[in-house]
């Protein structure tokens, strides 16, 4: 029986989109005082080409990294993914959100296409749909956030994450109380304090101390909140572990942790109940899958963080469907300006949140989505 020739990588490209439309500006809760544009589309994406006509796609990569990545990968077999992941992460060490995650995801997309399997099936998953939660962007007033929660519930969303770090604890708790009163127990409510990188420069605004974190946790657990996210700076593991052991409120975090060893230490110290790794920080799905195994070993849930708004979210969708201990998928969604469909618009066939509150897994091979070629810059 003849063996099918192995794939060989022939090119790695960063492909720009046409000038994309700015929908408007929002002041994100994690960066008060600084408005940011929100766009319809994306700046670029990555393609990895092979000698057999298969092409893998992934989220954008810093243009400066492409020449070195291309030199390394030319002639290589995409199936040698562990070796590639080991090498590629050193090209982008410390470059969170601008590293080589897009290339790693494109290699996995290639592997799925070559085996004619969706990634979640390739990774052993059996969920054909997952529950997304609408992750808010703005630090809104209690009244505004309650109104938005009702709207999302009526559209079918089953879960919402609201931002709290107003000037006072009283206003924070009032926001959650009003949301809970508005939706009852028809929605799961999560809360994000955005304190992981709060140092007055990168994330200005209210900075919590340990007392504020404890007081908030105790109040939220009485309101049936599913988790409190990032209540203290991300590497204050001792204080986070002390907090986690002192309250019944599940503590979530980990979006800024850059490596497997950081998550191992967090698990050993029982820092978080729910791990939130970010594919764009960990440089791809290869490392993410190892965090999933680590979470299972330590009895933790895992809910990936954000994913960048387009193809990274699709990779997270497949990962969540492959993990039995991943109850939700984060989807950054604060309409009208912060609508998740603006990021998904680069795809021809994006999965969408249905009126029953689920996202169905794409059935095509690999990521199961393709880029809308009409949007590509000539």
What domains can be seen in the chain, in order of their start residue?
A: 9-117 (3.30.390.10), 121-373 (3.20.20.120)
> Binning pLDDT at 50, 70 and 90, where does residue 197 land?
confident
pLDDT tens per residue, range 28-76: 887 777 788 888 888 999 999 999 999 999 999 999 999 999 999 999 9
Rounded to 5 degrees, what are φ and ψ at 37? -70, 145
Q: What is the mean pLDDT of residues 136-155?
A: 94
pLDDT tens per residue, range 290-347: 999 999 999 999 999 999 999 999 999 999 999 999 999 999 999 999 999 999 999 9
For residues 371 and 60, is the Cβ–Cβ distance under 8 A?
A: no
pLDDT tens per residue, range 244-264: 999 999 999 999 999 999 999
pTM: 0.96
Q: Is the pLDDT of residue 227 over 90?
A: yes
Cβ atoms within 10 A of the Cβ of 27, count?
Answer: 14
Q: Is the pLDDT of residue 175 over 80?
A: yes
Percentage of the chain exceeding pLDDT 90: 83
Q: Give CA angle at 373 (370, 376), nearest 5°.
A: 120
Amino acid 155: pLDDT: 96
Say whether 253 sits in a helix, a strand or coil: strand
Amino acid 94: pLDDT: 60
Averaged confidence pLDDT in the chain: 93
């Amino acid at each position: 029986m003849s063996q099918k020739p192995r794939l060989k990588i022939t090119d790695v490209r960063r492909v720009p989109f046409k000038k994309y439309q700015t929908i408007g500006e929002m002041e994100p809760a994690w960066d008060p005082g600084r408005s940011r544009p929100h766009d319809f589309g994306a700046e670029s994406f990555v393609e990895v080409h092979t000698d057999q006509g298969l092409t893998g796609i992934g989220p954008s990569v810093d243009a400066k990294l492409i020449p070195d990545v291309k030199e390394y990968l030319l002639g290589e077999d995409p199936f040698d993914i562990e070796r590639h992941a080991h090498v590629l992460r050193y090209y982008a060490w410390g470059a969170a959100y601008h590293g080589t995650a897009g290339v790693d995801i494109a290699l996995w997309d290639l592997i799925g296409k070559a085996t004619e399997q969706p990634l979640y099936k390739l990774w052993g998953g059996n969920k054909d749909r997952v529950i997304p939660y609408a992750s808010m962007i703005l630090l809104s007033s209690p009244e505004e956030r309650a109104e938005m929660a009702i709207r999302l519930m009526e559209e079918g969303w089953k879960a919402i994450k609201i931002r709290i770090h107003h000037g006072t604890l009283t206003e924070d708790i009032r926001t959650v109380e009003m949301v809970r009163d508005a939706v009852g127990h028809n929605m799961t409510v999560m809360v994000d304090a955005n304190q992981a990188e709060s140092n007055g420069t990168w994330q200005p605004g209210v900075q919590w101390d340990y007392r504020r974190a404890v007081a908030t946790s105790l109040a939220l657990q009485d309101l049936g909140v599913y988790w409190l996210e990032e209540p203290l700076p991300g590497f204050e593991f001792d204080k986070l572990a002390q907090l986690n052991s002192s309250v019944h409120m599940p503590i979530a975090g980990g979006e800024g942790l850059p490596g497997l060893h950081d998550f191992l230490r967090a698990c050993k110290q029982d820092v978080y109940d729910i791990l939130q790794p970010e594919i764009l920080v960990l440089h791809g799905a290869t490392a993410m899958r190892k965090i999933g195994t680590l979470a299972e070993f330590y009895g933790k849930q895992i809910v990936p963080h954000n994913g960048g708004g387009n193809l990274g979210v699709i990779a997270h969708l497949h990962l969540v469907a492959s993990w039995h201990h991943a109850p939700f998928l984060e989807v950054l969604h604060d309409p009208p300006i912060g609508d998740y469909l603006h990021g998904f618009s680069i795809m021809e066939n994006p999965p969408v949140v249905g009126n029953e509150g689920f996202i169905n897994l794409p059935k095509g091979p690999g990521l199961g989505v393709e880029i809308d070629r009409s949007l590509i810059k000539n």
